[in-house]
Amino acid sequence: MNVLITGGLGFIGSALTNRLCREHQVTVLTRSVKGRARLRFPERVRVREGTVEDVTAADCAGMDLVVHCASTVDNYNILTDPYLDVRTNCAGTIALLEACKEHKPKFLFVSTFFVYGNAPKLPVDEQSPCEPLGLYPATKLCAEQFCKIYGRLHSFPVNICRLTNVYGPGEAFDNTKKGAFNYLIRKAQLGEPINVYRGGDFFRDYVYIDDAVEALVTVAERAPAGELYLAGSGEPVMFKDLMECLHRLTGRKSPIGSIDPPQFHQVVGIRNFSANISKIKTLGWTPKVGYEEGIRRTLASYGS
């Protein structure tokens, strides 16, 4: 296949690129080439630098599959540039859909569990109501609707896959706005003090990067057109238990403090989350890497 991956040098996009370029012709559209080091087989990947807002029909000509990973990645843009989420997630998605409507490739939109907000009933599934708490997930939910509309109107196959918290090798460990678990893994590895919201007394669904990528590949290859899937571990874990696992695997007892979330996080942050992944399992996908093994692999990727 010929595959176009937007945001293909980001954390998830690059992992997907590395997975697909072994079997297919992959073109990456990226806002910046600074993530090129994430590519394992750079000679097999065509990299085009540019914004998704400026994509054209020529970029999509001949593509069998388009995977739309390009996105903002946190809730904080509303404090500095509230239009960035709209430009990237909304205008960028429409530009890509416009570019695809003539050639009609299979189209996979990578979305986020953040669209659910603080769900009144857990675990959530594909039918659960969405009440995003921040501008980032609100624009991602808008983009989902754009994808559905274009797929119906222009008759090309569209799927959506919402991922839970993704972690693992390849994610930056020095960004406090995103990849919080990777950030804490690195601090524990260094034996540095760790401050955790509410002492880690909350649960989340973390999915290892390799499992997340296989979920996307499974949806791209096997899902009926128009279907939406939620992919995660399906096993919620208390955050304080993850910290205990880090202590055990690193052999270093990083002091763990309990802090209250700042006001901004209290407004836009999700407290507890768990996912029902029974629908995507019907496609033959199931997560294979548990939390302890995922943490072990992430620690190894960071060295000592």
* Cα–Cα distance, 301 to 213 (Å, whole number): 18
Structure pTM? Answer: 0.96
Domains of the chain and CATH, by start: 2-165+206-231 (3.40.50.720), 173-205+235-274+289-302 (3.90.25.10)
- pLDDT confidence band for 224 (50 / 70 / 90): very high
**pLDDT tens-digit series, residues 89-137:** 999 999 999 999 999 999 999 999 999 999 999 999 999 999 999 999 9
Name the least confident of 145-149, 175-179, 228-232, 234-238: 175-179
Enumerate residues 6+ apart whose C-beta is below 8 A from 263: none
Asked if the model's pLDDT at residue 304 lies above 70, the reply is no
Asked whether 214 and 260 are in contact (CB, 8 A), the reply is no
Query: What pLDDT sits at residue 174?
Result: 73
Asked if the model's pLDDT at residue 179 lies above 90, the reply is no
**pLDDT tens-digit series, residues 270-301:** 999 999 999 999 999 999 999 999 999 999 99
> What beta strand segments (E) does 210-288 contain?
228-231, 237-238, 256-259
What is the three-class DSSP state of 290? Answer: coil
What are φ and ψ of residue 225, in 5° steps? -60, 140
Query: What pLDDT sits at residue 173?
Result: 76
- pLDDT confidence band for 146 (50 / 70 / 90): very high
